[in-house]
Chain A
């Protein structure tokens, strides 16, 4: 029996993934082999990764130096609790997605399956490397590999023009963000010339440079996470990608940005200024509110989920902001509480959002539709997908006893502890923030009701939906795995919190562990059981008993007869499926209330129209006021530069000649 370190297992997993990718390229068009052998094998590797990470959380960090890279510049890797925690998320969620992908990819147009297999596994491997990296060089290489491999995955159907545009936008913002991160590392190494994280940890920066580094990191990682105003790529790229890829990107890739932000603000930077937290809090809230309001008015199911991802990222950022504020005032217990909420939400969002994206993939395959206006009533034809999605929807809306509730509850709890802050301004301000978070959570529920209701409830809006088939076996297994964790994390939160505990202890020197071990496994009590506690199992028991009693009472006391009618017919005797409430109709109140958020173009029919049509386009102010002006400016500047290009060799030679003369002139001075 070999005595392997966890980091060796992780490296082995990466190697196997790359091997699977190569095997995929060799068996480029052998669809059955790629789908039924390679993808499940990749899924098994994910499980091994999760297992290795689980062993690792809470033990002493392991390091490794890979002899890869440039001479004198090897890759430094380090596996500590924070990294292991994110690896656990990647492994556990990736396993479900890989199994689903085994049944998802179909023969046909687009990228050949073997190539998709390569890109998919390189993407996974690069995300693991991002988490493992312990120097700026390895980090940037892995980070760019991640961006590139996911770009190729997004453009799997590269023949479609909108996919090309989405891919370009994604790549552009990913690179702009990468510049921010690179500059941030440049500031962090403080002119010592050594780019390892170990060196950055011991540097002490002045508040000005520390703030610069933080802003740059915020910009860079915010671009990857989809923070306002760098969010525009997200609602374009997620719908363009195949569903397992959307699930990977939304569930895991966005979390690598959260990881980077945590790594830099809690591990590498020691200086802590309270306004960093304030800034992050404000941006996070704006992102969350913006995301959720846009989610409610979407009519494309994957766009809706993409905006919901923006919302969740906003919540995460707000949580990190709060943790930074507590950290700046040295309130380590409360910092740990806020961080716990953030890390819990990372896990739960990874599970439920990938589950939902996979579900949309199954619906897309069964019906060929992404537009909510042409779906409906699918619960009768796709019961497996519908019920599994329902679990994801519950978790996403933050309903107990599912995983989303625990994290949002913890987040709200941490906001309610702010009166202890020494700054009176913050004391007054932050309760308002808590109210906004409650609003966001409520609106998220609204968006999810719309999402599930319009797709699965009511009556089919199109005839062809009646031929929809349920998901295949692989797809069911994948979704079942994710859904099971959504429930398990909601019912037994203390187990995960114990894991998170060692992460927060290593980051800020405090954790919730004491409270969770004091209170039994039944109760979740972040501070003390008198102050606030949540017992998911008791809650579930109560709800179940309540439902059973209500059901029994209705059957016994009321007349007990059954009457079957078409759903959602509103009591009209003659109606068609098109008269049901639609996605537009459901989102209309929000569109009215939050009108300043949108840039709307309405086409209303006049009473004289023979074929009346109603159309509304919902646009994004940021696109119009921020991105288009920048694009125009760049186009103008590029036009100026373009004048240099005359196409004559003599002119080009003259340029070099004049440059040479000028340089010589400078030398002479």
Chain B
């Protein structure tokens, strides 16, 4: 029974990885937010399973917190934001998606390679997912690099936070509760501030394209 449930953890982790790839190649902003919500849900699922298997009660709380924050609150904010900014149906041009995918695959291989020796030392039930978590971090980072619009970049940042959370859960059964609460608050405040920034950027440049920020550079 336990072995089956452990497999469930791996399943959730691979769902998160697939969602990360999907986000990397998704061009429509509203779909990106949906993907992000699903990813959050998968993180919650994997946390609950880990909590159930290992009887770590505090992980239930942190799963509840994550659910509240990443599945309800932040997507709600993001939806409101894109409505107010009127970019709901915007499409972003991305360079060559297949190339991006290949780079992503290379990153995943690299991440697994890096995580292997660390995972060996870990005796947690979810040690196999560390590589996936690391790969998700790198993929989200890659997504931030390749995006030129402000909203997708913020989503990339949030996805990276998801992956970090997954890494923490899989490697050490989560961070201490204080740290987790702190990070949750950070993310919440961060999204508010970034929202304000986006309005400011648009007011200044009449566009959310952050390439315009290059003008701010001093020569």
Contacts and interface: CB of A to CB of B under 8 A. Distances in A.
A646 B213 CA distance: 11
Contact of B114 (A646, A653, A664): A664
B217 A653 contact: no
Interface in B203-219: 210-211, 213-217
Given A661-B110, A668-B113, A668-B117, A650 B146 contact: yes
A667 B141 contact: no
A552 interface: no
Interface residues of A, number: 16
A665 B115 CA distance: 11
B153 interface: yes
A189 B123 CA distance: 42
Contact of B210 (A646, A649, A654, A656): A649
Contacts of B214: 646-648
A627 B145 CA distance: 42
A579 interface: no
A424 interface: no
Contacts of B216: 647
A506 to B, nearest CB: 52
B1 to A, nearest CB: 35
Given A668-B113, A668-B117, A653 B211 contact: no
A635 to B, nearest CB: 15
Contacts of A661: 110, 138
Contacts of A645: 217
Contact of B217 (A647, A656, A668): A647
A657 interface: yes
Contacts of B217: 645-647
Interface string B117-138: 1000000000000000010001
A129 B158 CA distance: 49
Contacts of B141: 653, 656-657, 660
Given A647-B213, A648-B214, A649-B213, A664 B110 contact: yes
Contacts of B159: none
A650 B148 contact: yes
Nearest to A667: B114
A654 B114 contact: no
B144 interface: yes
Main DSSP-derived SS at the A contact region:
helix
A523 B117 CA distance: 83
Contacts of B134: 664
Among B144, B145, B146, B148, chain A packs the most CB atoms within 10 A around the CB of B145
Nearest to A666: B114
Interface string A624-663: 0000000000000000000001111110011011001100
A647 B134 CA distance: 28
Nearest to B211: A648
Contacts of A648: 211, 213-214
Interface residues of B, number: 22
A245 B180 CA distance: 53
Interface in A277-313: none
A650 B114 contact: no
Interface in B185-219: 210-211, 213-217
Among A648, A649, A661, A665, chain B packs the most CB atoms within 10 A around the CB of A649
A664 to B, nearest CB: 5
Nearest to B113: A668
A648 B213 CA distance: 7
Among A645, A653, A657, A665, chain B packs the most CB atoms within 10 A around the CB of A653
Given A648-B214, A649-B210, A649-B213, A668 B114 contact: yes
Given A647-B213, A647-B216, A653 B145 contact: yes
A667 to B, nearest CB: 7
Contacts of A660: 138, 141
A4 B138 CA distance: 64
Contacts of B111: 664
A217 B216 CA distance: 43
Contacts of A649: 153, 210, 213
Given A649-B213, A650-B148, A664-B110, A657 B142 contact: yes
A529 B115 CA distance: 84
Nearest to B111: A664
B114 A657 contact: no
Contacts of B211: 648
B117 A657 contact: no
Contacts of B145: 650, 653-654, 657
Interface in A560-601: none
A582 to B, nearest CB: 47
Contacts of A646: 214, 217
A557 B75 CA distance: 111
A230 to B, nearest CB: 31
Contacts of A667: 114
Nearest to B216: A647
B10 to A, nearest CB: 22
A522 B44 CA distance: 93
Contacts of A656: 141
A667 B113 CA distance: 11
A648 B138 CA distance: 20
A645 B217 CA distance: 8
A650 B134 CA distance: 21
Interface in B16-41: none
B93 to A, nearest CB: 14
B148 to A, nearest CB: 7
B119 to A, nearest CB: 12
B144 A653 contact: yes
Contacts of B117: 668
Interface in B86-123: 110-111, 113-114, 117
Interface of A: 645-650, 653-654, 656-657, 660-661, 664-665, 667-668
Given A646-B217, A649-B213, A650-B146, 9 more contacts: A648-B214, A650-B145, A656-B141, A660-B141, A661-B138, A664-B110, A664-B111, A667-B114, A668-B114
30 contacts: A645-B217, A647-B213, A647-B215, A647-B216, A647-B217, A648-B211, A648-B214, A649-B210, A650-B146, A650-B147, A650-B148, A653-B141, A653-B144, A653-B145, A654-B145, A657-B138, A657-B141, A657-B142, A657-B145, A660-B138, A660-B141, A661-B110, A661-B138, A664-B111, A664-B114, A665-B114, A667-B114, A668-B113, A668-B114, A668-B117
9 closest Cβ contacts across the A-B interface? Answer: A647-B217, A647-B214, A653-B145, A664-B114, A668-B114, A657-B141, A650-B145, A654-B145, A653-B144
